[in-house]
A and B are shown apart, each in its own frame.
Chain A
Amino acid sequence: EDQVTQSPEALRLQEGESSSLNCSYTVSGLRGLFWYRQDPGKGPEFLFTLYSAGEEKEKERLKATLTKKESFLHITAPKPEDSATYLCAVQRRGGSEKLVFGKGMKLTVNP
């Protein structure tokens, strides 16, 4: 069974204090690993897709990396507007595009 575990469940940072979020996964044949951002009262907003171990993608203060067992979302010098819940999901090869989501990680960045 495909599984996704995100840690920590919640994280509080001071503005400018860099950190990383972890997403551990087990899947029989990874097609893609997806990162989403979710603001309160909104739907998940797509951030990145990673397809193979060693791949990295960046967007503003966010950088996502992928190994064969986990993915990291690095946040460099975060700002209060980066406060949100970050979701990780995996898609199995041959799995009809279905995503398996982790429970999410709530990030709060204090000014």
Chain B
Amino acid sequence: NAGVTQTPKFRILKIGQSMTLQCTQDMNHNYMYWYRQDPGMGLKLIYYSVGAGITDKGEVPNGYNVSRSTTEDFPLRLELAAPSQTSVYFCASSHGGRAQPGKPQHFGDGTRLSIL
């Protein structure tokens, strides 16, 4: 059981470039999330998904897009990268919904992204 796997681990982008951060989980979790973590700040939710084909915005969605075509994968796309998007990005997954309320989220080890 690998849990939540994120690739790449590190990346440097130039301003205006685009890229996709990959996230896959093997726990058959229906819910998946993307967070960003900036120094001295708490984790902020970017987007989340309650199942394949369903996504919704979190607290800080501007400049990002997501898709969820399968239960396992939840990629995060950055279009027109900006210096303000320099951060550490974490993907997480959990069981969720009315049948399983309050289950913990399980996190990957993050992608460290610098935009210069």
Whether the pair A43, B102 counts as a contact (CB closer than 8 A) is: no
Whether the pair A97, B96 counts as a contact (CB closer than 8 A) is: yes
Contacts of A87 in B (CB 8 A): 42-43
Please give the number of chain A residues whose Cβ is less than 8 angstroms from any Cβ of chain B in the complex.
Answer: 26
Contacts of A100 in B (CB 8 A): 42
Tally of A-B residue pairs with Cβ under 8 A? 62
Quick one: which of B41, B44, B94 contacts A97, CB cutoff 8 A? B94
Quick one: which of A41, A42, A46, A98 contacts B58, CB cutoff 8 A? A98
Kindly state the interface size class of chain B when it binds its partner: 20 to 34
Contacts of B79 in A (CB 8 A): none
Whether a CB of chain A sits under 8 angstroms from the CB of B61 is no
Whether the pair A99, B40 counts as a contact (CB closer than 8 A) is: no
Whether a CB of chain A sits under 8 angstroms from the CB of B74 is no
The docked-state distance in angstroms from the alpha carbon of A40 to that of B97 is 32
Contacts of A36 in B (CB 8 A): 107
Whether the pair B101, A31 counts as a contact (CB closer than 8 A) is: yes
Whether the pair B102, A31 counts as a contact (CB closer than 8 A) is: yes
